Every structure is written in structure tokens, then in C-alpha cells.
């Protein structure tokens, strides 16, 4: 099996600046999603289901919640004597200052992990794309093409806002990348790079060392764009379901899409589960006057009011007379009696005092920071 020769690298902090409200005190990878998951669960589960049993997670700062979530990797079957899960802290390399400015600098801090690995190929991924995919065909395509680097892309209708924080590519008729556009001001049907790459390990190590000597930090600019003519860089098209997190609005919409049974069926098929840290909680408790419609409600919640089109994380309390609609309420938050809450993203442990009214819109949901009181 090809993937026995593959190790994984996950960038937990790349794109932290796209949803700064949620990443002020945590990495992008540990941002909660869908009532029980973290964003890192999706690429990490994809790697494990694809047969990759050695994964390194590159951190930068604010990674305490990420370490708490990943632990030893038991939920992903990565508690192993050989391979397994490796947390790669920013100060693990004494020649690296830890606050990296791009993927190449981040990889420089992980050089010891790469050089000591016995893998032949490295599969790298960010945490901003939510999907349920098998990486095996990507690795097989990379080997078949004799490529130096293979990137995964999806042909989608890209908005100007999404393109402004993304990398778009163009391919020739052989599938080789012939153009790379970084943060372009464009829109329409384009090949959106999903920030998933396969590379020969030895080549990647050489590229990291070369970039370090030249002071280069950006993988997209220095390697994909700068070496597209000298390296054999190919694109592998993915036609499955994805959610791209690139703004707070896109994060809100991606969560709300889970209220569609068809979207849940595609993202969480029975034969391809998404693994996450399991916490033992009591079942949801519903009061005698509680009303719930089209909502995802996690264990440990107490519902005594009205909840409609919402995603509630563990331990949320909705008190009598409260009405919560079209909102994402994270772990441990409390909605007081007679509150009116609509189109809100409430981070962990937010408390709404009784009789409060907080409303946003579908395009501009109101965000309440962790531990806020309203």
C-alpha cells in the first residue's frame, strides 16, 4: 500500500488571520465546528482513513487547546510505538525563532521530524477546508505522474472575497500546473487550490534548506509559483463536497449547512467517520415547554425554551421563555430566560442575562467572544 510510505504534516495555524475573532485565543485547527468537532478533525481523520499512521502537527502559538484536544492521538488510532501523532511545537528547533512567517519557515522548524522519518512521501494539509476525502488516489496519481509535487484542487465558482485569501492554479492538458495566482482579485469558475500537497520527502527537505538559505518563507510563492517551470508540479482534481473557511461569514454558513440532511450525509458517511475527542456527557434534557426544530444539539445541553435552526455544543443551557434561532452556541454558554437570540456566533462560556435581545443577519452574524456576558 502506497500510504505506508507516506507521513503527514498538518499546519494548525495557517490562515489564523481569516477568522481572527475565533483564533485570538486558539489555533485555527482547534476552532469548534458542527456541535462536537474541531477543524483539525477533518484533515486528520482523512489522513488516518487513508492509511497514514505517522502525522506531525505544526503549531505556532495559542496551541494549548489543540494539545488538550489531540492528546496522545488515541481517538485517531495514532497512539503508537512507531509513527503515531507528533506535536511539533514552534521552539522545537534551536535555530528557529518559533514565530514563523510562512509554511517554509514552519517546515524548517520540523526538519528533524522529516529527516528522521522513514517515509518516502510527505502529505501536507491546512485546516481550513472541511471535507471527507480519501488521499490514496492523490498519492497514487503523484507516483503515476512521476511528479515532484502534486497539489489538490477543486473547480468552483470563486467569489472575489474568497479568491483574495486563496491560491488559484491553471493546468495544461497534461495536468501540469502552468500558472499560480496568489490572492488574486478575480471571481468566477477557477481551480481553487485546497492546500493539500504531496511531495517527495528528500526533495521537500532540499527545498526547505534552500529556502532557509535564501530567506524565503512562502511555500506558495517560492515553490509553487517560483518553481512551476523547473519542478514537475501537477494538479489532482477533487470533485467531492468541501466547505472552505475563509471569513467569519463562511464559517457561519459552513456550520449552518450541516442542518441540511444531504450535506450531513455527504460529510459524515457511515463508512467514513470523522474522528474526534470523545467526552462522556449525559443526554440532552428537554423541559416540558421546550420546542426544538431543525437543530443539532450536543450531549449535556438543557433545553427549556425554543431552539430553531441552531447548532448547540455540549453543555449549553437555554432557559424558559428564551428563543434561539439561526445561531451557533458553543460549549458551556447560557441563554437566559426570555432572551431573543438570532444569527449569533457565541463562543465558549458566553452568558446571556435574562431578557436580552441580540440579533444579527445571515450575512453579518453577531460574534460574542469567549467568556462574554451580555
Q: What is the pLDDT of residues 18-41, one digit of tens each?
A: 888 898 888 999 999 999 999 999
Whether the per-residue pLDDT at 16 is higher than 50: the answer is: yes
Looking at the predicted structure, is the pLDDT value of residue 6 above 90? yes
Whether 284 has a pLDDT exceeding 50, the answer reads yes
* Contact criterion met (CB below 8 Å) for 169 and 193: yes
pLDDT at 2 over 70: no
Q: Average the pLDDT over 214-237 and give the result.
A: 91
Under a CB-based contact definition with an 8 Å cutoff, are residues 85 and 78 in contact? Answer: yes
Segment 165-186 mean pLDDT: 92
Given a cut of 80, whether residue 358 has pLDDT beyond it is yes
CA distance 205 to 214: 14
What pLDDT, on the 0 to 100 scale, is given for residue 109?
A: 84
Q: What is the pLDDT of residues 59-117, one digit of tens each?
A: 887 888 899 999 989 999 999 888 899 998 876 454 555 577 788 888 888 888 999 88
Question: Going by C-beta distance under 8 Å and a sequence separation of 6 or more, which residues neighbour residue 325?
Answer: 306, 307, 308, 309, 310, 341, 342, 343
pLDDT at res. 94: 44
**Mean pLDDT across the stretch 311-326?**
96
Q: Is pLDDT of 296 > 90?
A: yes
Separation between Cα atoms, residue 232 and residue 241, nearest integer Å: 28
Per-residue CA distances from 270 to 239, 264, 295, 296 (Å): 20, 10, 20, 18
CA distance linking residue 343 with residue 324, whole number of Å: 9
Q: What is the pLDDT of residue 1?
A: 46
Cell of 155: 473547480
Q: Which residue blocks in 50-173 are alpha helix, DSSP H? A: 64-70, 103-109, 111-116, 136-145, 160-163
Closest CA to 78 of 133, 23, 18, 8: 8
**Given this model, what pLDDT does residue 305 score?**
95
Interatomic CA distance for residues 211 and 90, integer angstroms = 18
Mean pLDDT, all residues of the chain:
91
Residue 126: predicted pLDDT: 94
Compute the distance between CA of residue 17 and CA of residue 14 in angstroms, rounded to an integer. Answer: 8
Looking at residue 225, the DSSP 8-state letter turns out to be: I
Q: Retrieve residue 132's grid coordinates.
A: 471527507
CA distance 364 to 358: 13
- Closest of 34, 91, 61 to residue 251, by C-alpha: 34
User: Could you tell me if 64 and 17 are in contact, meaning their C-beta atoms sit under 8 angstroms apart?
Assistant: no
Confidence grade of residue 128 (pLDDT, cut at 50, 70, 90): very high
In this prediction, residue 91 carries a pLDDT of: 62
Amino acid at each position: 500500500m502506497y500510504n505506508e510510505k507516506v507521513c503527514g504534516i498538518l499546519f494548525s495555524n495557517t490562515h489564523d488571520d481569516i477568522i481572527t475573532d475565533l483564533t485570538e485565543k486558539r489555533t485555527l485547527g482547534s476552532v469548534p465546528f458542527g456541535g462536537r468537532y474541531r477543524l483539525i478533525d477533518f484533515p486528520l481523520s482523512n489522513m488516518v482513513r487513508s492509511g497514514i499512521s505517522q502525522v506531525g502537527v505544526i503549531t505556532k502559538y495559542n496551541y494549548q487547546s489543540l494539545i488538550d484536544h489531540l492528546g496522545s492521538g488515541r481517538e485517531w488510532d495514532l497512539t503508537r510505538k512507531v509513527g503515531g501523532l507528533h506535536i511539533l511545537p514552534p521552539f522545537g528547533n534551536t535555530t528557529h525563532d518559533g514565530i514563523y512567517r510562512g509554511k517554509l519557515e514552519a517546515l524548517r522548524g520540523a526538519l528533524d521530524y522529516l529527516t528522521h522519518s522513514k517515509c518516502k512521501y510527505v502529505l501536507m494539509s491546512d485546516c481550513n477546508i472541511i471535507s471527507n476525502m480519501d488521499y490514496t488516489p492523490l498519492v497514487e496519481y503523484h507516483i503515476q505522474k512521476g511528479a515532484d509535487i502534486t497539489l489538490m484542487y477543486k473547480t468552483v465558482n470563486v467569489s472575489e472575497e474568497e479568491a483574495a485569501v486563496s491560491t488559484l492554479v491553471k493546468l495544461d492538458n497534461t495536468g501540469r500546473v502552468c500558472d499560480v495566482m496568489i490572492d488574486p482579485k478575480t471571481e468566477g469558475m477557477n481551480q481553487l487550490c485546497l492546500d493539500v500537497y504531496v511531495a517527495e520527502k528528500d526533495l521537500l527537505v532540499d527545498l526547505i534548506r534552500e529556502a532557509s538559505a535564501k530567506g524565503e518563507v512562502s511555500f506558495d510563492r517560492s515553490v509553487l509559483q517560483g518553481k512551476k517551470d523547473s519542478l514537475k508540479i501537477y494538479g489532482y482534481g477533487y470533485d467531492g463536497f468541501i466547505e472552505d473557511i475563509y471569513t467569519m461569514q463562511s464559517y457561519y454558513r459552513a456550520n449552518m449547512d450541516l442542518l441540511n440532511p444531504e450535506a450531513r450525509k455527504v460529510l459524515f458517511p457511515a463508512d467514513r467517520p470523522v474522528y474526534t475527542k470523545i467526552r462522556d456527557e449525559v443526554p440532552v434534557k428537554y423541559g416540558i415547554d421546550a420546542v426544538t426544530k431543525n437543530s443539532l444539539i450536543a450531549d449535556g445541553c438543557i433545553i427549556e425554551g425554543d431552539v430553531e435552526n441552531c447548532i448547540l455544543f455540549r453543555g449549553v443551557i437555554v432557559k424558559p421563555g428564551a428563543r434561539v434561532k439561526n445561531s451557533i452556541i458553543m460549549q458551556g454558554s447560557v441563554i437566559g430566560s426570555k432572551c431573543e437570540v438570532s444569527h449569533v456566533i457565541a463562543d465558549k462560556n458566553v452568558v446571556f442575562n435574562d431578557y436580552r435581545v441580540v440579533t444579527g443577519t445571515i450575512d453579518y452574524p453577531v460574534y460574542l467572544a469567549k467568556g462574554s456576558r451580555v
